[in-house]
Amino acid sequence: MIYQYYPGCSLHASARDYDESVQGVVKSLAMELKEVPDWNCCGATITPSLNQLQSQILPARNLALAAENRGDVVVPCNACYMSLKKIQYNMAKYKVVREKVTEIFGQAGLRLTGMPKVRHLLEVILEDVGLEKIKQMVKKPLKDLKVVNYSGCQLVRPLGFDNPEDPQALDNLMSALGAEVLPFSQKTHCCGGSLITTQPDLAFQMVDSILEESRAVGADMVVVTCPMCQLNLDAYQDQVNRKFNRTLQVPITYFTQLMGLALGLNKNQLGLQRGIISPFKALEKIG
């Protein structure tokens, strides 16, 4: 299957590890990802806070570029996924948005020739490959590895593909890979990613409650689907721990990294060494 890949800004920088593991995993699954040519930043949560129309036009340009080619748009980042889905929703629902975007596009030499389907990488893997097939492909089950699955916000809200309060997709995938999935009430509680630079006090509390519950239930690691969540929970963990007097570190891994391991890929191809909190000790369990 051919897909169009919209990596989003992080995967080319702070989330290189995610990108590396995505590339490894999709190859094993015989999925072909072609990067949307010349894509731009989706605006995340910033642009919509400053200018409504700019926040529509940015993701819309990406859709216009993607519409030139065939294949669904696959997005590994929760925030980009939501931005792209939201502009689709707004264009379908609001005539003004449709008209303004078309008019501006006309002046800038852009045209939206179709509406490609926007899907999160997790969604694509579960729906197009399927759990059964993945189970058969597992070479090295993640046996004894205790994980909590953190879907975050924008994968499931407001236009996501899974239950917004108690998503199942990631749980099902991790169980299929052989990991032990622990109950986790923080699955979709916000980590405060968009506030971490400007209002760290607020965000640190949010990070801490996620990490605290993962420790309390005895998780070896927190599994994530989004580069923003990863950065927030991983890179800021030391600061958060200092503030709340916690000693235990919890590695934050991408679902694709664990999937890569289970499918028998080499550790070093999966960017695992790039975690600020190293996952290697926890991963010793699976050898």
Instruction: Enumerate residues 99-118 that contact another protein by CB under 8 A.
Output: 100, 103-105, 107-110
In sequence order, what are the beta bridge partners of 3? 33
Which residues ranging from 9 to 48 are in contact with another protein (CB under 8 A)? 9-10, 12-17, 38-41, 43-48
Query: C-beta of 137: minimal distance to another protein in Å?
Result: 29
- How far is 268 from 248, CA to CA, in rounded Å? 25
Q: Of 22, 97, 122, 219, which one interacts with another protein (CB under 8 A)?
A: 97
- How far is 64 from 205, CA to CA, in rounded Å? 39
DSSP strands (E only) in 144-208? 146-150, 180-181
Q: How far is CA 222 from the centre of its chain?
A: 13
Here's the x/- map for another protein, 128-147, by CB under 8 A: it reads as: --------------------
Which residues ranging from 163 to 182 are in contact with another protein (CB under 8 A)? 163-166
Q: Which stretch binds another protein (CB under 8 A): 111-119, 130-138, 152-160, 240-248?
A: 152-160
Here's the x/- map for another protein, 44-83, by CB under 8 A: it reads as: xxxxxxxxxxxxxxx--x--------------------x-
Task: Give residue 90's region: left, alpha or beta (phi > 0; psi -120 to 50).
Answer: alpha
Residues contacting 261, CB < 8 A, separation 6+: 140, 142, 267, 270, 283, 286
**Position 183 contacts another protein (CB under 8 A):** yes
- Residues comprising the chain, all counted: 287
Nearer to another protein, 157 or 243 (CB): 157
In sequence order, what are the beta bridge partners of 33? 3
Which residues ranging from 199 to 238 are in contact with another protein (CB under 8 A)? 199, 202-203, 206, 235-236
